[in-house]
Chain A
C-alpha cells in the first residue's frame, strides 16, 4: 500500500491550453473523489466516482472540466481552455464503501499564466 499518488505534482501552463492530471488511488479503493483547493481556503468537492461510474458532480465542474475513471482504478481530470481562475491545488482522495475515512494524495498544483 503506497498511498494515493498524483501526477504531476506541479503544472504550469498558459491560458487557453489543455491540461490533464492523473490520480492513482489506494488499490481496491472503489470510491474516488476530486477536490479543488485555492490559497487560504479549504478544499471544495468537484466530483465522485464509485468504481467507474461518475455519480456526482459539483456545479463547480464547468463544461471545460471532465473526469474519467475508465477501469475503476486510476482517474484523470482534464481541464480544457484553462483560465487563470483555474489556478489551484487539485486533490484526489480514495476510500472504500462502509468507511468515511478518505485518504488524500499530495495534490497537483496548477498555475495558469
Chain B
C-alpha cells in the first residue's frame, strides 16, 4: 500500500508550458525526495526537502515542502521535451520517521512534453 499519493498520474503538455505535480502523504517522513526516472533506467535524485515550508530551486524546477511536512509540489517552468520522464516523490525512512533510510515512493507522474 502506497502511503504517498501523487497527482496527476499523467501529464501531456506542449513545450513552453508550466506544470505542477503534487505529492501528499498521510504520514510524516524524516524527509522527502523527488526523483526523475527515464525508461529502462533507475531513478535519479533531483532534490531532498527536510524542513516544513522549505523551497528549493533547481534551474527551471521549484520544489516546495508543506509546513506540516506531509505535502510537497514540483513546479516546472517553461517545460522542454528533455523534461519528459517519470517523476517520483519518495518519503525517507518508514512512515513516522523510522529506520534505515528506506524509500516509500508515490506511484509517479508520467510527464510528456511535446515539441
Question: What residues make up the interface of A, taking CB atoms closer than 8 Å to B?
Answer: 4, 31, 33, 35, 40-45, 48, 50, 55-56, 91, 93, 95, 100-107, 109
Q: For B9, list chain A residues within 8 Å (CB).
A: 40
Q: Is the CB–CB distance between A102 and B100 below 8 Å?
A: no
Q: A45 with B42: in contact, given A56-B99, A100-B33, A100-B48 (CB under 8 Å)?
A: no
Q: Is B90 an interface residue (CB 8 A)?
A: yes
Q: For A48, list chain B residues within 8 Å (CB).
A: 100-102
Determine the residue in chain A with the shortest Cβ distance to B33. A100
B35 to chain A, nearest CB (A): 8
**How many residues does chain B have at the interface if contact means C-beta atoms less than 8 Å apart?**
28
Question: What residues make up the interface of B, taking CB atoms closer than 8 Å to A?
Answer: 2, 4, 6, 9, 30-31, 33, 40-45, 48, 88, 90, 92, 99-108, 110
Report the Cα distance A101→B31, complex, angstroms. Answer: 11
B105 to chain A, nearest CB (A): 3
- Subset of 29 A-B contacts with CB under 8 Å: A4-B42, A31-B100, A31-B101, A35-B103, A40-B108, A42-B2, A42-B4, A42-B6, A43-B43, A43-B103, A44-B105, A48-B100, A48-B101, A50-B100, A55-B100, A56-B99, A91-B42, A100-B33, A100-B48, A100-B101, A101-B48, A102-B45, A102-B101, A102-B103, A103-B45, A104-B44, A107-B40, A107-B41, A109-B40
Q: Is the CB–CB distance between B106 and A45 below 8 Å?
A: no
Q: For B108, list chain A residues within 8 Å (CB).
A: 40-42
